Structure 1
Amino acid sequence: MWSVWLSVISLLIVISTHWVYRWRNPKCKGKLPPGSMGIPLIGETLDFLVSNNSLDTPPFIKKRMMKFGPIFRTSLAGRPMVVSSDPEFNYYVFQQEGKLVEQWYMDSFSKLLGQDVTRLSNQRNIHKYLRNTILSHVGPEALKDKLLPYLEDAISQKFQGWSKLPSLEVKKSLAVMIFKLTAKLLISYDAEKSGDNIDDFFSNFMEGFMKLPINIPGTAYHKCLQKRQKVVNLITNIYEERKRNPEIGKGDFLDQILMDMKTETFLTDKFIIYVMFGLLLASFETISSTLTLAIKLLSDKPKVVQELTEEHEAIIKSREDANSGLTWKEYKSMTFTHNVVNESLRLASVAPGILRKTIQDIEVNGYTIPKGWSLMVVPSAIQLNPNIYEDPLSFDPWRWQGISANVTAKNFIPFGAGMRTCAGADFSKVFMGVFLHVLVTKYRWTIIKGGQVMRTPALGFGDGIHIQVLTKHA
């Protein structure tokens, strides 16, 4: 009997040893990039999720870059993955969308957006349709023709309310404002009339999403899914009412997509609802995180605030009517403001990584990235590269006066790159520019609590940054 048990145990040991060996040494037709696959199944996920109380590139990435170079292999969330901070290789990969790589999402994010949406959005014709439709509503022409005064009015009204409060938490307040504003633009949702309490919908949303995807009550990821469902329910109610009563007609994104259902077979009810959710999520996170960081950085750099103020006051003084709203020409003339926005985006690096999946073997620097592997491009490692940006952790908007377009094409990717560059990039930058215009011309602020900046690996702010906003004459 003992001999039978010894044989079984020996067999299990041999099988386990072989399995571990295969995990640590994946099959490859060529030579894999250097690195480690970590623990079977878990990989190096736990190390990747360790928080870092700094704006710097996360330690997980930085340590491996120093040990293995700009391209290395690892395993995250059970997937074999190559991580790249090589700007030349990244630029090449982004140009090969649909040929060598395709968009890919981690399972946790795929569940949030809906697996049908993430699967269908990889199809070039569907992606092109969505991109063109989004641009028609929030792209440069829409911003120039009608959205600029709308944004200025909405931001001004919000500041008036903030100036009456003893304090406010910046990230949450910005997230709520942006959610209300973009929801009104996309689906004509009026938060004030609806009576819904949306303040908690996106509170600490990304922090929860970046935790381990364990859907058990009490976990951060479970709370994240619950918040997702609240937003999906809200969108579903608006969608179903509009579909029942098409004569309501708002002329918004939802109206257009409902009209296109007659000709575009991929536009199903579920697909539309989760596309709406994805757009709201994408818009609020980049803008709110970047502007929160900008306020923190500006608070520490009075010289930057002074130059910003001088630029915007000069715009107002040059008008025939000082109380008239911003024009597109004035926005385009905000040279220093654009530098502040770019510098804030560079340091924020809101996206922890831009993900793709290889659909062919890829050769790079003598290594082979096998077909079916995931590829992560790390914006912070690129945008905080000391070889490109001198003293990279320093908030220095003046550095943008001497940076050429050739450099930024490969070393500045806050909105991604290639054919999948975020369609809301211009909207985000205009929003931030208008926000800064209203802030420095009419208000002053003081940080009264908090101020910690961290990566989780998403950009986070600890217990929050709390400020008091006062009108300039107060």
Structure 2
Amino acid sequence: MVVGISFFVLFSSTLSLAFLLSKWFSKGQTKNVPKGSLGYPIIGETLSFLKAQRQDKGGSDWLEERISKYGPVFKTCLMGSPTVFAIGQAGNKFILASPDDVLSAKKPLTMKKIFGRQSLVELTGHRYKLVKGEMLKFLKPECLQNYVKKMDELVNATLVREVTEKETMGVVVFMKKLSYDLSCNILFDIKDEQSREALFVDFTLAFKAIHSLPINFPGTTFWRGQKARARIVDRMIPIMNKRREEVSKGVVSSTNDMLSGLLALRDEHHQPLAHDLITDNFIFLLVASHDTSATLMSLMIWKLSRDPEVYKRVLEEQMEIIKHREGTEERLTWEEIQKMKYTWRVAQELMRMIPPLFGSFRKALKDTSFQGYDIPKGWQVYWAAYGTHMNDDVFENPRKFEPSRFENPTKPIPPYSYLPFGAGIHYCIGNEFARIETLTTIHNFVKLFEWSQVNPEEPITRQPMPYPSMGLPIKIKPRSNMS
């Protein structure tokens, strides 16, 4: 009987919420909003969007279907909120260059619940500049130069330890764990293996919840993600308390790592930052710094497995660097990273054709408009890289893999057209860290091993980041000149 009553209450509440949301959505219909469909109450078109992301073309067909019906500016409903898509360079610029008091970087409910209300993507004004400025101290060129040797040592040791005795390996899982360990070691100085392992499991669960339906029932992806986030916070509190004490006593310098820097930082009132703000940004940074890099590194191994000519040129470039190494130096240097021009052009072209971020949300904080359409306050807006990355007015023959287009382009790439790291004020602050991490990993991979795909026709799907759908299992063996 109790179960029956509980179900009735839940069912009634859901219907009431659906009714209220549908009335809220319909308020926008009195305005000149773009054409399109808001789909079902609450759910909207979220399920079809996520399903399209998981398919081989990663959502481009979903976009094309709506663009052909409604044009490059259309409305839908995603993650529980009415959403306007603005496809193309003009749309990218409108969304990414608008001031924060018009289009805020505030994210959908799922992202807000996982990242936290005080993560960098939610902050505005003075607090945003303060926190971003502290993070940038550890991502500026002089710091990045100091990371190269340590990163090279960690990547090399991990590959030798984890891969040498194996005949096969799953690249995606390996790269996720590798990039996570690099972030923990280099950016946050968290070296305790037990803590790192426990945190990694929960970060994996939390990340899955970011692109899910905001349904907080036991057993749902969103529910599991929030539980994982709560465990991350619980595990971080003693780590932060110990680090804060070490910083205050001078045992650890505030310039040692990003976590120490945030703990030592003072706000406009000369007060230390709240624990919540630091944990929110720790979670945001670890997700941002490790999963996007893991995506690119996995795609690089996938591409090198499938394209002998590209593989040959990357191998030649990396071996040439080793050949011209002076003295007894065995580890990579900053100068050598700068010589990996072709390898990075391969990465750039991969990110053009298979961008790590399909697109991203902003939120209208006031009524605004774009190309004659009204965008009501409270609605989301969304830009998609596909609109320019695969546009032949921007990139000649865009469906052809051509790394040389980033070497000496016949015409410059227009602003807001190439967006693997976003653009505008919220341009990804870790893009250079990701570049060094990717180049260091690929250097060691091709130097130490030869490999081939177990499933040569393995497609790419979005989960929501683009990964080889089977985890990219490869047959692998050491090179004869392994060092």
Q: Same fold (TM over 0.5)?
A: yes
Give CA-to-partner distance per residue, 1:423-472, whole Å, 9 cap, x none. Answer: 10110011111212222233222222583311245424333111233221
1:234–1:173: structure 2 CA closer, same or farther, 3 Å change rule? Answer: farther
The alignment partner of 2:474 has SS state of: strand
1:321 partner letter = G
Q: 2:245, 2:339 → 1: CA distance? A: 45
CA deviations 1:85-110 (Å, max 9, x no partner) are 22123224322222431112110111
Secondary structure at 1:211 match in 2: coil
Specify the alignment match of 1:65 in structure 2: 67
Does the CA contact (< 8 Å) of 1:117 and 1:271 recur in 2? yes
User: Which range moved further: 292-301 or 59-68?
Assistant: 59-68
> How far apart are the structure 1 equivalents of 2:398 and 2:368?
31
1:196: how far off? 4.0
Verify the 8 A CA contact 2:58 2:460 in the aligned structure 1: no
SS of the residue corresponding to residue 407 of structure 1 reads coil
Cα distance, 1:307 vs structure 2 = 0.7
Shift of 1:195: 7.6
- List aligned pairs for 1:202-241, cutoff 5 A: 202-203=203-204, 206-241=207-242
Query: Quick one: structure 1 residues 429 and 70, their matched pair in 2 at CA, closer, same or farther if it must change by over 3 Å?
Result: same
Q: AA paired with 1:115? A: R
CA distance in 2, matches of 1:305, 1:199: 31
Q: Secondary structure at the match of 2:84?
A: strand
Cα gap change, 1:467/1:242 in structure 2, threshold over 3 Å: closer, same or farther?
Answer: same
Deviation, structure 1 residue 56: 4.6
Measure the CA separation in 1 of the matches of 2:27 and 2:271. 44
Q: What is the match of residue 357 of structure 1?
A: 363
Verify: 1:254 aligned to 2:254, yes or no.
Answer: no
CA deviations over 1:54-99 (Å, ceiling 9, x no partner): 2454432221122222211112233121112221232243222224
C-alpha change, 1:245 and 1:400, in structure 2 (3 Å) is closer
Are 2:56 and 2:460, in contact at CA under 8 Å, matched by a contact in 1?
Answer: yes
Matched, 1:454 2:461: yes
In the superposition, the TM-score normalised over structure 2's length comes to: 0.85
The residue aligned with 1:12 is none
Distance 1:77 1:319 in 2: 52
Distance 1:122 1:407, change over 3 A: same
Q: Which runs of 5+ in 1 are unaligned?
A: 1-15
Residues 179-233 of structure 1 show CA distances to partners (whole Å, capped at 9, x for unaligned) of 1221122331114375845553444754443222323333333333343334333
Percent of aligned pairs with the same amino acid: 25
Residue 88 (structure 1) aligned with residue 90 (structure 2): yes
What displacement does 1:402 show?
4.0
**1:409–1:431 CA distance, 2 compared to 1 (3 A):** farther
In 2, Cα distance between equivalents of 1:387 and 1:91: 16
C-alpha displacement at 1:249, in angstroms? 1.0
Which residue, out of 292, 305, 324, partners 2:311?
305
Give 1:129-278 correspondences, 5 Å limit.
129-144=130-145, 146-161=146-161, 162-192=163-193, 196-197=197-198, 200-203=201-204, 206-246=207-247, 247=249, 248-249=251-252, 251-261=256-266, 264-265=270-271, 267-278=273-284
Shift of 1:130: 1.9
Local SS of the residue matching 2:429: coil
Q: Distance in 1 between matches of 2:176 and 2:68?
A: 36
Q: In 1, distance between residues paired with 2:91 and 2:341?
A: 31
Query: Would you say 1:330 and 2:342 are equivalent positions?
Result: no
Q: Aligned ranges for residues 419-438 of structure 1 at < 5 Å?
A: 419-438=425-444
Cα distance in 1 for residues equivalent to 2:197 and 2:63: 41
Contact 1:453 1:461 in 2 (8 A): yes
1:468 to 472, 475, 478: 475
SS of 1:411's partner is: coil
Secondary structure of 1:444's counterpart equals strand
**Given the superposition, is the C-alpha separation of residues 74 and 156 from structure 1 closer, same or farther in structure 2, using an over 3 Å criterion?**
same
What is the match of residue 104 of structure 1? Answer: 106
Q: Is the 8 A contact 1:56 1:384 kept in 2?
A: no
Contact 2:352 2:389 in 1 (8 A): yes
CA distance 1:403–1:370, shift in 2 (3 Å): farther
RMSD of equivalent CA atoms: 2.8
Deviates more, 1:52-61 or 1:33-42: 52-61
Amino acid of the residue matched to residue 478 of structure 2?
Answer: T
- Distance, in Å, in 1 between the alignment partners of 2:144 and 2:109 is 34
- Measure the CA separation in 2 of the matches of 1:243 and 1:349: 38
- Tell me the equivalent position of 1:54: 56
Answer yes or no: is the 8 Å Cα contact 1:358–1:375 preserved in 2. yes
With normalisation by structure 1, the TM-score equals 0.87
1:354 Cα offset (Å): 1.4
Q: Deviations over 1:9-34 (max 9, x none)?
A: xxxxxxx99996874572455x2222
CA contact (8 A) 1:210 1:458 kept: no
**Of 282, 292, 302, which residue of structure 2 is paired with 1:286?**
292
Range moving further from structure 2, 431-440 or 207-216: 207-216
Counterpart in the other structure of 2:8: none
Cα distance in 2 between the residues matched to 1:204 and 1:395: 34
Contact 1:50–1:456 (Cα < 8 Å) also in 2: no
Q: Which amino acid aligns with 2:82?
A: P
C-alpha spacing 1:100/1:193, structure 2 compared with 1 (3 Å): closer
Q: Deviations over 1:101-145 (max 9, x none)?
A: 1112110111111224478x432222212222112112322112x
Q: Larger deviation: 330-339 or 449-458?
A: 449-458
Supply the distance in 1 between the matched residues of 2:383 and 2:67 (Cα, whole angstroms). 13
Cα distance in 1 between the residues matched to 2:106 and 2:370: 20
Check conservation: 1:139, 1:424, Cα contact below 8 A.
no
**What SS class does the counterpart of residue 201 from structure 2 fall into?**
coil
